């Protein structure tokens, strides 16, 4: 049947020729029976995996030579769309001839890449990338059954984007190294979120434990906290007087966060830095008490002394704290 008989040319153009060929003519579809495997002295593993997000499912057959754990034959049955059939067929082909330990290293990226007509052109549109993820998951399921372990034991990292196989550690590292500030930048650098987009934020076709929006926000917060601490550390080394006003406020906030604020909050209060004025003899730090601290008797005695002493010790002996 011609492509244009069913869908517009633009949609079909998003699929490689290899995908469209294997949709209708898979090379490894079928099944292997226990009797067949046993007659050759091999062990049969049958693994099922279904994707809740789209209702597709795949059954993978591995005939394994127990002498060296090598997959000597493999078949599949796919219950789903044409892309799932093509992905499962290539996944099955990639498994044949490999040991179980080698096969479990096959990822959905390998499956999708093997379906490409050209190395630089994706084989399927972004919303269909999950089909190759299903192929990857059923491999882990089969390996777990053969080894008698849970399939999750083969996953050494926390994978945030299943489509692009991008881990949590990689995302945090890339955000930090490149000072990324937007989700678009994260996708450009890592490809995470560039396919089915379920990992970007809640509400996609599949619920995730981690989302890019939260990872970016949390990592940026950690980076800001580290910068403030670095500014505070610079002050500890005697450079506080040379900082800009903004740097001084951040340095003071960092010291307060680490040494004082938790005690103020425990009593229902807090504080904020209003201004800093440099004089010949003193560096006056003007603060405002918040909450319960604003009416507390010790705000001008014990609490004030503790704040000023801490800032003098950590940043500069010239600091004088003045509540307003």
The closest alpha carbon to 28, from 144, 135, 137, belongs to 135
Neighbours of 98 (CB within 10 A): 16
Active-site annotation, residues: 54, 131
Q: How many residues does the chain have?
A: 324
Separation between Cα atoms, residue 315 and residue 234, nearest integer Å: 8
CA dihedral 297, 302, 303, 307 (to 10 degrees): 150
* φ, ψ for residue 308, nearest 5 deg: -65, -40
Neighbours of 171 (CB within 10 A): 25
φ/ψ region of 161 (left if φ > 0, alpha if ψ in -120 to 50, else beta) reads: beta
Separation between Cα atoms, residue 237 and residue 206, nearest integer Å: 50
Q: Confirm if 117 and 16 have CB atoms less than 8 A apart.
A: yes
| Strand-pair partners of 284 | 277, 320
In b/e form, how buried is each residue of 19-28, taking b as 16+ CB within 10 angstroms? bbebbeebeb
Separation between Cα atoms, residue 292 and residue 263, nearest integer Å: 12
Separation between Cα atoms, residue 192 and residue 250, nearest integer Å: 33
């Amino acid at each position: 049947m011609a492509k244009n008989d069913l869908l517009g040319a633009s949609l079909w153009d998003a699929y490689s020729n290899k995908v469209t060929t294997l949709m209708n003519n898979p090379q490894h579809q079928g099944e292997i029976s226990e009797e067949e495997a046993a007659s050759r002295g091999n062990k049969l593993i049958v693994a099922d995996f279904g994707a809740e997000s789209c209702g597709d499912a795949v059954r993978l057959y591995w005939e394994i030579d127990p002498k060296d754990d090598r997959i000597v034959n493999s078949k599949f049955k796919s219950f789903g769309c044409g892309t799932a059939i093509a992905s499962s067929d290539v996944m099955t082909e990639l498994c044949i001839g490999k040991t179980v330990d080698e096969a479990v290293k096959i990822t959905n990226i390998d499956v999708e890449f093997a379906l490409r007509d050209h190395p630089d052109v994706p084989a399927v549109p972004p919303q269909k990338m999950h089909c190759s993820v299903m192929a990857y998951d059923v491999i882990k399921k089969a390996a777990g059954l053969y080894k008698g372990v849970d399939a999750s034991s083969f996953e050494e990292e926390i994978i945030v984007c299943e489509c692009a196989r991008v881990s949590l550690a990689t995302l945090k590292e890339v955000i930090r190294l490149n000072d990324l500030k937007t989700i678009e930048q994260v996708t450009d650098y890592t490809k995470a979120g560039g396919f089915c987009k379920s990992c970007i934020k809640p509400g996609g076709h599949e619920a995730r434990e981690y989302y890019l929006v939260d990872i970016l926000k949390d990592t940026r917060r950690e980076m800001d906290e580290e910068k403030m601490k670095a500014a505070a550390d610079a002050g500890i080394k005697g450079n506080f007087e040379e900082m800009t006003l903004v740097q001084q406020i951040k340095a003071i906030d960092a010291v307060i966060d680490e040494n004082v604020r938790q005690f103020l909050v425990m009593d229902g209060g807090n504080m904020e830095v209003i201004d800093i004025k440099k004089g010949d003899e003193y560096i006056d730090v003007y603060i405002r008490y918040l909450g319960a601290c604003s009416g507390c008797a010790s705000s001008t005695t014990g609490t004030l002394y503790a704040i000023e002493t801490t800032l003098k010790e950590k940043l500069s002996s010239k600091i004088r704290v003045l509540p307003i």
